[in-house]
Chains A and B, each alone.
Chain A
Amino acid sequence: MSSSTTNTTTIGTIGAPSRRNTELAMLIFAVLIPVFAYINVGLAKDGSVPAGVLGYSLGLGLLAGVAHLVVRKWAPYADPLMLPIATLLNGLGLIFIWRLDQEPSLGKAMAPNQLMWSTLGVAFFLAILIFLKDHRVLQRYTYISMVVALVLLVAPVFFPGVNGAKIWITIPGLGSLQPGEFAKIIIAIFFAGYLMVKRDALALASRRFMGLYLPRGRDLGPILVIWALSLMILVFETDLGTSLLFFGLFVVMLYVATERTSWIVFGLLLSAGGAVAVATFESHVQTRVHNWLNPLELLNGGVTETAQAMYSFGSGGILGSGLGQGYSRLILGIAPKSDYILATVGEEVGLAGLMAILLLYGLLIERGIRTALAARDPFGKLLSIGLSGAFALQVFVVAGGVTGLIPLTGMTMPFLAQGGSSVIANWALVAILLRISDTARRPAPAPAPSTDAEMTQVVRP
């Protein structure tokens, strides 16, 4: 059993070290960095240490500590990096929201609510780790999740739009909910279950044509349905982000399930076709594309939000203006605390800080994909790649949109941005990934000793 102590990869049929202590050490950093950032903002804004710093430190520390203990008990072999990264991003998000709360022009304070949602998110995370003993249980709910996902995706149509996008459902007395955030997890469960069953049919029953495997008409059906559905979201809810996420997720999972490049080609062709078709008659989309191509354009003699975001990034430069010392409040309008929070990050912690945060996202995504590689069952593989893929697409679409790489779409930066649905959904997403990675890295039951195996072993000098 000597190999189990020297094996450092997460992939291993034999036991990997649990790495719980690594996680703990990382978590300490993940709590300390936001606490220091919090003090920094207070010093910059008022010249004094903010009054809430003790409560905040204890709160964040407690959340992280409990989460760690629960992971230690219920998912001891889980990936050691995901929890600290999520904690750090969520903690920094809280700081940035609190920092923007200090600007009276941006409306009422949002940080206390966000802290409450974060606590709920972590509670949800803990509940999943405790009650979901094995992710394969989710497989049973393939078709139920399909129905739930459809309901969640379609529901916002019946509620009034906010700022041009119908992505909200309003529950009187409770506030509003962004069902798309939850739909991305549930739909990944559905795809994983569905594709696991159908993958052979989709992969093998096809004709070869010009180097590509053309799927049969009846297998093409589901992809066309999904494509149509994502277009409908785009048209009726004018939600570019969700439809892109939804469709991208499906193509990625289909590709992984079938190992056929042809699906990607179809996916790209369909999404390009859909995008062009919608863009020709949907003014909302046209505006977004126009703003993307002319970021600094003046509108009625005034500076647009897109331009304000660009100015924020540019003014931040390499090292940033310092926490609390930027002017990203100039981005009035829709969402300085949610969609545009990256602009504040870019301005106040600069290129260096922004790159660090993007790398944290990158690391989280790659840990998710690594979980997919390590998972031993196809359902786990598909589910974890689906969740990581959705996360990656969301990060790309939001960060790319805010920085002007691609047209802006209405989505929130996971963990960082203000928004209850988002933070809860993303904690749930991380919980499921942790559960899968725990199963994947859990040492296999020790094989029965076999004398034959011993005899065939090569002994090197």
Chain B
Amino acid sequence: MNKPLRRVAIFCGLLVLALLVRVNWVQFVEGDQLKNDPHNRRVAIERYSTPRGNIIVDGKAITGSTTTDSGDFKYKRTYKNGKMWAPVTGYASQAFDANQLEKLNDGILSGTDDRLFFSRTVDMFTGGKQKGGNVVTTLDARAQKAAYDGLGKQKGAVAAINPETGAILALASTPSYDPSSFAGMSNKDAEAYSALQKKNDADEPMLNRALRQTYPPGSTFKVVTASAALENGLYHDVNSKTDSPLPYTLPDTSGLPLKNEGNIPCKDASLREALRWSCNTVFGKISADLGNKKMKAEAEKFGFNDPGINTPVRASESIYPTDNRPQNAMAGIGQASNRATPLQMAMVASAVANGGKLMKPYMVDQLVAPNLNVVQKHTPQEMSQPLSAENAQKVQSIMETVVKQGTGTSAQIPGVTVGGKTGTAQHGENNKDNPYAWFISYAKTDKGTPVAVAVVIEGSDTLRDDIAGGKLAAPIAKRVMQAVLEGEK
């Protein structure tokens, strides 16, 4: 009987071998993947096992951590003035994961990032607890407060950029939410989270309107159209008459007119006058004359049609459409299929203000290790040059006229040169919904151009003309610019 016995012995050996191979496969080959699987609760347990690092604005933390006794997770996120900062920080919740800066920099904040290897190793040997690093933002607390308070109870968003570097100074979105309200994992947190969801709150408080919502930019887009006209040599002088009829009929249509808001002097108006009065006829015709291709090319230089604008939080793609002639003419005045995020329009203003150079927008200046060593520092990068320096001067000059004597007078700041453009974008089929009030602007002092800002307010029910942008949005832009300028002093 020994021959079959030996074979059975080999068989049993093979069974054990199979088990050994299998555990090697699971624990060694697939180990890392299983260990870091998002559904593996240990990932979250580790994330909340130590106080998270903080998100810093102006040298002060706008986040914090507190201990909880709710099950597996030791620490819970807290937010200072959470509603105001939510569009910047995003949230980190024990039960609902994290998003935006909290998610993107999770490795640094939770201390697991490979770049913190050294400090982790030191902690291991000294017996210290693993600590998280900090994320230092470019935001300006005063500007943010001005933006958030300015929006108040209205639905809208503000994005402010430093044109010279691309640093984001303010990013407000209303209505907002307090990420502290669901940072834990109790039933109360779950209720708070659920109440904020779109299906339970039509106002979508968790939508980051400054980065993630696109709107028709309305008349503010005329700045891009004017830039396209100058860059393509359609007009050279912003003060000489254009060849613009009134009324103007949309191309390729059987007499469909493009109307202006009210009875304004737009016939053959110069670029300066046309922008001052916000002439649809003039800019619609410019767009039609340049054609879809050239208009699109110029818009793209400003950042349209780029799905990868990361601040590092990704901004939604702004769209300048490929379209037929009448639609392209409409897109040239910021209507039809033209869509832009508030950040995008702030980028337009900042490129003009920065002598035609568009800097890449960013809001994380430094990543800092727990021992305060800088792990990563952002260096300002040029994204593109939509305008020559000379043409940028021209566009600046006409934008300044808008604030001095046009639709944007409410953005004037004594002793400071302000350039701007209002906009009231039609919205809904046959214009039935309330329009969006827009304002984009920049402020210049003799020391430089520290701020460009875009404001959008949804659903304003005031008059359907460009005054809406001037009336509602411009004062907010003004407060934000003032806040930045005060900080400069």
Interface residues of A (CB under 8 A from B): 252, 255-257, 259, 296, 298, 303, 307, 310-311, 313-318, 327, 330, 346, 350-351, 354-355, 358-359, 361-362, 365-366, 369-370, 372-373, 378, 381-382, 385, 388-389, 392-393, 395-396, 399-400, 403-405
A141 and B145 alpha carbons, distance in the complex (Å):
90
Are A303 and B39 closer than 8 Å at their CB atoms?
A: yes
- On whether A259 and B40 interact (CB within 8 A), knowing A313-B34, A314-B26, A358-B23, the answer reads no
- In the complex, B37 has a CB within 8 A of chain A: yes
Are B8 and A314 closer than 8 Å at their CB atoms?
A: no
Are A314 and B16 closer than 8 Å at their CB atoms?
A: no
Are B19 and A314 closer than 8 Å at their CB atoms?
A: no
Are A369 and B18 closer than 8 Å at their CB atoms?
A: no
A140 and B279 alpha carbons, distance in the complex (Å):
111
Q: Which of B4, B12, B28, B33 contacts A259 (CB 8 A)?
A: B4
Are B26 and A313 closer than 8 Å at their CB atoms?
A: yes
Q: Which residue of A lies closest to B45 (CB)?
A: A327
Counting residue pairs across A and B whose Cβ atoms lie within 8 Å, the total is: 135
Are A346 and B4 closer than 8 Å at their CB atoms?
A: no
- On whether A354 and B9 interact (CB within 8 A), knowing A311-B42, A314-B32, the answer reads no
- In the complex, B198 has a CB within 8 A of chain A: no
A372 and B30 alpha carbons, distance in the complex (Å):
38
Are A378 and B1 closer than 8 Å at their CB atoms?
A: yes
Rounded to whole Å, the gap between the CB of A265 and the closest CB of chain B is: 14
Rounded to whole Å, the gap between the CB of B7 and the closest CB of chain A is: 8
- Residues of B near A373 (CB, < 8 A) are 2, 5-6, 9
- Residues of B near A346 (CB, < 8 A) are 23, 26-27
Q: Which 7 A-B pairs have the closest CB atoms?
A: A314-B34, A362-B16, A351-B27, A311-B40, A405-B22, A392-B12, A396-B15
A351 and B33 alpha carbons, distance in the complex (Å):
15
- Residues of B near A256 (CB, < 8 A) are 1, 4-5, 8
- Residues of A near B34 (CB, < 8 A) are 310-311, 313-315
Are A361 and B16 closer than 8 Å at their CB atoms?
A: yes
- In the complex, B377 has a CB within 8 A of chain A: no
Are B5 and A314 closer than 8 Å at their CB atoms?
A: no
Are B22 and A404 closer than 8 Å at their CB atoms?
A: yes
Rounded to whole Å, the gap between the CB of B3 and the closest CB of chain A is: 6
Are A313 and B23 closer than 8 Å at their CB atoms?
A: yes
Are A314 and B35 closer than 8 Å at their CB atoms?
A: yes
- Residues of A near B37 (CB, < 8 A) are 296, 311, 314
Are B16 and A365 closer than 8 Å at their CB atoms?
A: yes
- In the complex, B20 has a CB within 8 A of chain A: yes
Interface residues of B (CB under 8 A from A): 1-6, 8-9, 12-13, 15-16, 18-20, 22-24, 26-28, 30-35, 37, 39-42, 45, 72
Rounded to whole Å, the gap between the CB of A260 and the closest CB of chain B is: 9
Are B39 and A400 closer than 8 Å at their CB atoms?
A: no
- Residues of B near A395 (CB, < 8 A) are 15-16, 19
Are A350 and B27 closer than 8 Å at their CB atoms?
A: yes
Given contacts A314-B37, A351-B23, A359-B20, 5 further A-B contacts (CB under 8 A): A313-B26, A315-B42, A317-B31, A392-B16, A400-B18
Are B28 and A318 closer than 8 Å at their CB atoms?
A: yes
Rounded to whole Å, the gap between the CB of A447 and the closest CB of chain B is: 23
Q: Which of B2, B9, B45 contacts A366 (CB 8 A)?
A: B9
A213 and B22 alpha carbons, distance in the complex (Å):
35
Rounded to whole Å, the gap between the CB of A120 and the closest CB of chain B is: 28
A358 and B19 alpha carbons, distance in the complex (Å):
8
Q: Which residue of B lies closest to A11 (CB)?
A: B2
- Can you list 26 A-B contacts with CB-CB less than 8 angstroms, sorted by A residue number? A256-B5, A256-B8, A257-B1, A296-B39, A310-B26, A311-B37, A311-B40, A314-B31, A315-B31, A315-B34, A317-B32, A330-B41, A351-B24, A351-B31, A358-B16, A358-B20, A362-B12, A373-B2, A373-B6, A381-B5, A385-B5, A395-B15, A395-B19, A399-B19, A400-B19, A403-B23
Rounded to whole Å, the gap between the CB of A209 and the closest CB of chain B is: 21
A298 and B19 alpha carbons, distance in the complex (Å):
26
- Residues of B near A382 (CB, < 8 A) are 1
- Residues of B near A296 (CB, < 8 A) are 37, 39
Rounded to whole Å, the gap between the CB of A199 and the closest CB of chain B is: 9
- Residues of A near B72 (CB, < 8 A) are 327
Q: Which residue of A lies closest to B33 (CB)?
A: A314
Q: Which residue of B lies closest to A405 (CB)?
A: B22
Rounded to whole Å, the gap between the CB of A204 and the closest CB of chain B is: 14
